[in-house]
């Protein structure tokens, strides 16, 4: 996948299909599965390489305005596959040897409807377009939720009740462009798809990619394993990011929170880049330069 081609493409469904198709064409050892569908029936893809019995999971584009994370993670997958094919090192690591014992799984777009709505407007929500039009007032430039107006990263079963109460106190009681956690945990097919894969797969640890802030979150509730903290510190050191903790409406209900609470294994939220969402897609090269070694470390640690 040539850098110029990535740069010219957007991150909507059609562009993802082109990028993923290009990867599958060039790397016969790369697998593609569908782990679920969105509210509008769009596929939620899983791309994997290496040992499928012991995987590191990356997940991106939980939110409509954060689709630059899809670009970053697909480009990393390209770099990984190229290193395997050419038997080369990636950031000084013989990545092919690593993947023999630990595989790499990527969900490049957890919320395909949200990305489509943000980029192409209310009509992209199909049977939900009237709901989206009502909630957004017809302006979807800052749309984060799925087509039903549920924020996927508020919909996981980890501190959901407390978060739901905070949402109510902040006047968020119905479908919204962001921060509405739904009627109950895992009410949304996108949430269930990712959670179900984690329940049936062999995920040793997971990274959720968001934007922005150049921060890494690692703990939740009673989960404060020293080994996870050391991993977060190492990833921060190579990227220049800061180990931090979310607060307020950003705490609870998220994928990272759910993963560490459910499995007692490390999981991290990586807030890429700095600025105002949506980050300009043309910034992806600079951001990728900062996080590439972080991503490699995540496969190795």
Cα distance between residue 96 and residue 88, in whole Å: 8
> What's the confidence (pLDDT) of residue 130?
98
At a CB cut-off of 8 Å and minimum separation 6, what does 57 contact?
Answer: 105, 106, 107, 197, 198, 201, 203, 205, 206, 207
Cα separations (Å) of 270 from 37, 66, 194?
24, 12, 17
The H or E element that residue 77 is part of is helix 68-86
Q: For 52-108, write each residue's pLDDT tens digit.
A: 999 999 999 999 999 999 999 999 999 999 999 999 999 999 999 999 999 999 999
Percent of the chain with pLDDT over 70: 97
Q: For 131-154, write each residue's pLDDT tens digit.
A: 999 999 999 999 999 999 999 999
pTM above 0.95?
yes
Q: For 160-200, write each residue's pLDDT tens digit.
A: 999 999 999 999 999 999 999 999 999 999 999 999 999 98
Cα distance between residue 7 and residue 287, in whole Å: 13
Helix, strand, or coil (residue 47)? strand
What is the distance in angstroms between the CA of the first residue and the CA of the last residue of the chain? 27
> What's the confidence (pLDDT) of residue 1?
53
> What's the confidence (pLDDT) of residue 4?
46
Residue 292 in tokens: 């590439």
245 or 191, greater pLDDT:
191
pLDDT of 247 higher than 90: no
When the pLDDT of each residue in the chain is averaged and rounded to a whole number, the result is 95
């Amino acid at each position: 996948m040539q850098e110029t081609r990535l740069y010219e493409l957007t991150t909507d469904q059609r562009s993802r299909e082109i990028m993923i198709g290009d990867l599958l064409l060039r790397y016969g050892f790369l697998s593609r599965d569908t782990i679920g569908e969105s509210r509008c029936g769009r596929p939620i893809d899983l791309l994997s390489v290496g040992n499928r019995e012991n995987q590191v999971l990356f997940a991106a584009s939980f939110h409509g305005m954060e689709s630059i994370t899809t670009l970053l993670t697909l480009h990393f997958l390209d770099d990984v596959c190229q290193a395997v094919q050419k038997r080369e090192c990636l950031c000084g690591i013989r990545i092919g040897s690593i993947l023999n014992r630990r595989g790499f799984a990527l969900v490049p777009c957890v919320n395909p409807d949200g990305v489509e709505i943000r980029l192409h407007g209310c009509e992209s929500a199909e049977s939900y377009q009237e709901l989206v039009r009502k909630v957004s007032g017809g302006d979807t430039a800052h749309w984060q939720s799925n087509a039903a107006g549920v924020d996927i990263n508020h919909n996981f079963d980890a501190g959901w009740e407390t978060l739901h109460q905070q949402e109510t106190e902040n006047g968020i009681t119905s479908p919204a462009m962001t921060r509405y956690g739904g009627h109950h945990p895992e009410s949304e097919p996108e949430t269930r798809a990712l959670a179900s894969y984690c329940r049936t797969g062999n995920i040793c640890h997971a990274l959720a990619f968001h934007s922005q802030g150049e921060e890494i979150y690692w703990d939740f509730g009673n989960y404060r394993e020293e080994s996870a903290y050391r991993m977060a510190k190492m990833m921060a050191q190579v990227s220049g990011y800061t180990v931090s903790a979310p607060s307020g409406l950003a705490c609870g209900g998220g994928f990272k929170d759910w993963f560490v609470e459910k499995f007692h294994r490390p999981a991290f939220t990586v807030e890429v880049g700095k600025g105002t969402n949506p980050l300009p897609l043309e910034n992806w090269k600079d951001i990728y330069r900062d996080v590439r070694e972080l991503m490699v470390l995540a496969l190795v640690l």
